[in-house]
A and B are shown apart, each in its own frame.
Chain A
């Protein structure tokens, strides 16, 4: 076994390292999107990539998501492995037809003749006072579609390992980053590693209540668990890492031990990964539940612009604590 050398890097560096390593490894992989090349990325994720890989593999596009996403899907069907960067997933909505109606269905509709090995990635969820139309959390809306995979990392280590797996995957992968996490630092090994899809991570072990989350809210769960521990409540936090596929086994095993489950999901509650998890737990853990599955989501309104309103609109540590106490009849 080789020893690993750890260093601290930012989330954006982890994403870039994953893309660069895969582009060095496989000539078919290329990056396209708005300002990814000459400007080094709107959020500096692709910094230096134009210099290393040249303008044929790091491509600046016009402000035309529907056009460049559709073009990339075509290239994927013909054998390339594109990475499409959306500056924000909010902007992907104008490309709904290619990314939802074409890419995930292509393998099925072509009777297996054309696959679509493509990665769509970009910032998802509220970036902070960006208003209703630029603050989309698309996991609820998009994960409804069969044929795709959805990845939502919560930290730099997972971001790198999961993105490398995404680029090598044969299916379209929706990779949801967060503007609020891009500067987050975390330990990432120098050596290459991959993280398989469909394997949740126990972000914190505990005995009283299972918190199921993914992406940025995992960090809010960790914060909530700290303060709940002072009240004598021990939380187990599962970071799902991928929504499709979903590690149902990990959720069921944990809830059977704790007897209580709270889902924390930054998308709207109606028809969301959170409601899917709740249905799963009620079906698989019915006899093990001491209370119904409690859910913490963003409020069922368009994202507000005002700072204070937005903080209350999003899942936060206080609301998570309240849900856990209520679930344990300690409210």
Chain B
């Protein structure tokens, strides 16, 4: 029986995927394990393998198109199958796609008329067409329960920008009541303002053009708006004397060069931040609504910008259990992740589970900047360059290197004094870099 491939669900939050590239064309033979396509999800571009030996008899969604999870995208004819027109294919997708969808039920053979050229079952056709037809209209359509709408009217709550907690993002009673409560207490709105923000029209002269958003750009937009509009951000900055660290780094890199190790300033900063967590556990925590969730391991996210040829944008690669890792390991892992991000793209698991994030623009000559918290983190550290400048050391004006570091913090979790103490601790580690070696 032919096998129908459907758009797999490659991450928890994935609702649709774009076929970046087909590695096969109709008529090609494939074997189990072959990567037939690259799929762009909301987070990353991932490879889609097949699990059957056969011939790609039909490609139903061309490269570059985005379709909802579960949509049939190709058919593999197995050995012994009649022509693809003759039988109902068994629907398959990557094993990660474990969602129960009607299209993934193995289907029984149906008598198909010549008119039924591709013969998925009636159910899967109905599903496919309805989801395809609704993809453009429905994915943006806001779903609101009747009761939620009624209560919103009564309480004067605007539901236009509300994001629902129900199935498919349905706004339910609870969401409206929570929003009403927030409005009453004047707190931050847990709402998505994207619609509002993009409603402004500008009539500029000259030739304008429009760039459609990639999935990654959409994700960046959604998550950062959510972060900036729901988390009470504030910033605390400190200057670090970088001379001892730069000196140590030069020495280490000379001595480690034969082993191919080259430590970056950022590797030291990752290590310093991770070590300081032990005494300051709230920096490795998440806001949980009615509680604060204290994480065990320190998973440090490192922001990596992507080259234009990979579509630009940025991703956050995650160094797991950073509190247990030495400089050499941090350095090697960061390099590997950055390389993978820029060349092949990170897998979902490379980007999941960060508990604290570091963004470093020092290599671009930036003096200082502030970063937006990467939810569900409670803090992010923004590092500028170690700039050679006149500084005061031991009451003398001398030339030295200083770096400015700025923490952005979630005030629900971390207060100003706590932030200062943590920065003091990081500063101590950076300015006494031998502590980072052992």
A291 to B164, CA, bound (A): 13
Shortest CB distance B56–A (Å): 39
Q: Does B295 contact A (CB under 8 A)?
A: no
CB contact under 8 A between A259 and B147, given known A329-B165, A329-B166: yes
Q: Does A276 contact B (CB under 8 A)?
A: no
Q: Is the CB of B165 within 8 A of A288?
A: no
From B150, B166, B172, B174, A288 is in contact (CB under 8 Å) with: B150
Q: What chain A residues lie within 8 Å of B147 (beta carbons)? A: 259, 287-290
Q: Does A286 contact B (CB under 8 A)?
A: yes
Shortest CB distance A281–B (Å): 12
Q: Does B173 contact A (CB under 8 A)?
A: yes
Q: Does B249 contact A (CB under 8 A)?
A: no
Q: What chain B residues lie within 8 Å of A290 (beta carbons)? A: 145-148, 172-173
Residues facing A in B171-192 (CB within 8 A) are 172-174
Shortest CB distance A259–B (Å): 5
Shortest CB distance A185–B (Å): 40
CB contact under 8 A between A291 and B172, given known A329-B165, A329-B166: yes
Q: Does B149 contact A (CB under 8 A)?
A: yes
Q: How many residues of B contact A (CB 8 A)?
A: 11
CB contact under 8 A between A287 and B150, given known A329-B165, A329-B166: yes
A286 to B166, CA, bound (A): 17
A289 to B147, CA, bound (A): 5
Q: Is the CB of A259 within 8 A of B149?
A: no
Q: Is the interface of B mostly helix, strand, loop or mixed?
A: helix
Nearest-CB residue, chain B, relative to A256: B147
Q: What chain B residues lie within 8 Å of A288 (beta carbons)? A: 146-147, 150
A287 to B147, CA, bound (A): 5
Shortest CB distance B318–A (Å): 30
Shortest CB distance B306–A (Å): 38
Q: What chain A residues lie within 8 Å of B172 (beta carbons)? A: 290-291, 329
Q: What chain A residues lie within 8 Å of B148 (beta carbons)? A: 290
Q: What chain B residues lie within 8 Å of A287 (beta carbons)? A: 146-147, 149-150
Nearest-CB residue, chain B, relative to A282: B146
Indicate with 1 or 0, residue by residue over A270-306, a CB within 8 angstroms of chain B CB atoms.
0000000000000000111111000000000000000
A291 to B174, CA, bound (A): 12
Q: Is the CB of A329 within 8 A of B174?
A: yes
Shortest CB distance B164–A (Å): 10
Q: What chain A residues lie within 8 Å of B174 (beta carbons)? A: 329
A289 to B172, CA, bound (A): 9
Q: What chain B residues lie within 8 Å of A289 (beta carbons)? A: 145-147
Nearest-CB residue, chain B, relative to A291: B145
Nearest-CB residue, chain A, relative to B167: A329
Most buried by B among A259, A286, A290: A290
Q: What chain A residues lie within 8 Å of B173 (beta carbons)? A: 259, 290
Shortest CB distance B155–A (Å): 14
Q: What chain A residues lie within 8 Å of B145 (beta carbons)? A: 289-291
Nearest-CB residue, chain B, relative to A326: B167
A329 to B145, CA, bound (A): 12
Q: Is the CB of A286 within 8 A of B146?
A: yes
Q: What chain B residues lie within 8 Å of A291 (beta carbons)? A: 145, 166, 172
A59 to B165, CA, bound (A): 63
Nearest-CB residue, chain A, relative to B166: A329
Shortest CB distance B7–A (Å): 26
Shortest CB distance B343–A (Å): 42
A301 to B174, CA, bound (A): 37
Residues facing B in A308-331 (CB within 8 A) are 329
A89 to B174, CA, bound (A): 45
Shortest CB distance B100–A (Å): 15
Indicate with 1 or 0, residue by residue over B213-243, a CB within 8 angstroms of chain A CB atoms.
0000000000000000000000000000000
A109 to B294, CA, bound (A): 76
A291 to B172, CA, bound (A): 8
Indicate with 1 or 0, residue by residue over B306-320, a CB within 8 angstroms of chain A CB atoms.
000000000000000
A115 to B10, CA, bound (A): 67
Residues facing B in A15-44 (CB within 8 A) are none
Shortest CB distance B290–A (Å): 14
Indicate with 1 or 0, residue by residue over A245-261, a CB within 8 angstroms of chain B CB atoms.
00000000000000100
A329 to B166, CA, bound (A): 7
Shortest CB distance B174–A (Å): 7
A259 to B173, CA, bound (A): 9
Shortest CB distance B233–A (Å): 30
A290 to B148, CA, bound (A): 6
Shortest CB distance B25–A (Å): 44
Q: What chain B residues lie within 8 Å of A259 (beta carbons)? A: 147, 173
A281 to B431, CA, bound (A): 70
Residues facing A in B384-399 (CB within 8 A) are none
Enumerate 18 A-B pairs (CB-CB under 8 Å) in ascending A order.
A286-B146, A287-B146, A287-B147, A288-B146, A288-B147, A289-B145, A289-B146, A290-B145, A290-B147, A290-B172, A290-B173, A291-B145, A291-B166, A291-B172, A329-B165, A329-B166, A329-B172, A329-B174
Q: A287-B146, A289-B147 are in contact. List 17 more A-B contacts (CB 8 A).
A: A259-B147, A287-B147, A287-B149, A287-B150, A288-B146, A288-B147, A288-B150, A290-B146, A290-B147, A290-B148, A290-B172, A290-B173, A291-B145, A291-B166, A329-B166, A329-B172, A329-B174
> 8 tightest CB-CB pairs across the interface, nearest first?
A290-B147, A290-B173, A287-B146, A259-B147, A290-B145, A287-B150, A290-B172, A289-B146
